[in-house]
């Protein structure tokens, strides 16, 4: 009788411990933020892109991957990486690659995005690293080197596609993402943004138009 009572007691204690662990697990694991994506189908190649509304703008939530006749490349010539990161475009190719109803965002439209995430106007107008943690909010939750992933708070899902120089060298995949704006700095250069792994800020700089960066599209 004592053995039966002892066994029953052990089983009850074990069941209680399992229940306690389960309850604690439910408490400590936060629910991921829900992002309300829409989709857009590019009529030219039938590729489907996720889109996301941020303030009064609608952005593609993926890098453009449309293959232009010239001026764009898959990273390392790999279609698999091109499908993941999108293609890298020269500034001129980026302008011509836009699907109907969408356009290459201007420097000011990037600023609007950054200010919607908490950056001040003065910070947005600056150059180099600006703001506080806007880069974290834009970075995807996977894919960045040295565990430099972001929170992807608004579903922008920024990925580190690197860049291609005008001489054909490709650098910094997994470490930095570069995105063109439609705004010229001078005849040879235009403004772009870059986000680096483990760095909370968003950088604003100008680069040579013949270099190739990733591209996001904004709805007209």
pLDDT score at 17 = 35
pLDDT score at 61 = 97
In 3-state terms the chain splits into helix, strand, coil percentages (rounded to 5) of 30, 25, 45
From the number of C-beta atoms within 10 Å of its C-beta (0-12, 13-18, 19+), residue 219 rates as middle
Low-confidence ranges of the chain (pLDDT < 70): 1-34
Backbone angles phi, psi at 35, to 5 degrees: -115, 130
pLDDT score at 24 = 41
DSSP annotation of 139: B
The reply to whether the predicted model has a pTM over 0.95 is: no
pLDDT score at 207 = 97
Cα→Cα distances 201→39, 129, 154, Å: 28, 6, 16
pLDDT score at 33 = 54
pLDDT score at 212 = 97
Region at 142 (left for phi over 0; alpha for psi -120 to 50; beta for the rest)? beta
């Amino acid at each position: 009788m004592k053995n039966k009572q002892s066994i029953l007691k052990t089983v009850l204690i074990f069941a209680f411990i399992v229940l306690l662990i389960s309850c604690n697990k439910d408490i400590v694991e936060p629910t991921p933020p829900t992002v309300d994506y829409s989709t857009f189908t590019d009529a030219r190649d039938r590729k489907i892109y996720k889109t996301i509304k941020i303030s009064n703008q609608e952005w593609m939530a993926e890098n453009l991957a449309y293959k232009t006749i010239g001026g764009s490349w898959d990273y390392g010539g790999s279609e698999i990486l091109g499908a993941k990161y999108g293609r890298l475009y020269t500034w001129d190719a980026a302008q011509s690659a836009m699907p109907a109803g969408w356009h290459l965002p201007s420097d000011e439209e990037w600023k609007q995005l950054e200010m919607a995430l908490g950056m001040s106007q003065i910070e947005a107008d600056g150059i180099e690293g600006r703001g506080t943690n806007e880069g974290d909010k834009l970075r995807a939750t996977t894919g960045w080197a040295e565990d430099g992933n972001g929170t992807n708070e608004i579903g922008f899902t920024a990925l580190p596609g690197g860049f291609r120089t005008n001489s054909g060298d490709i650098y910094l995949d997994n470490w930095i993402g570069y995105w063109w704006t439609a705004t010229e700095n001078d005849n040879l250069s235009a403004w772009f943004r870059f986000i680096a792994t483990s760095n909370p800020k968003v950088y604003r700089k100008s680069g040579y138009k013949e270099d190739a960066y990733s591209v996001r599209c904004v709805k007209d």
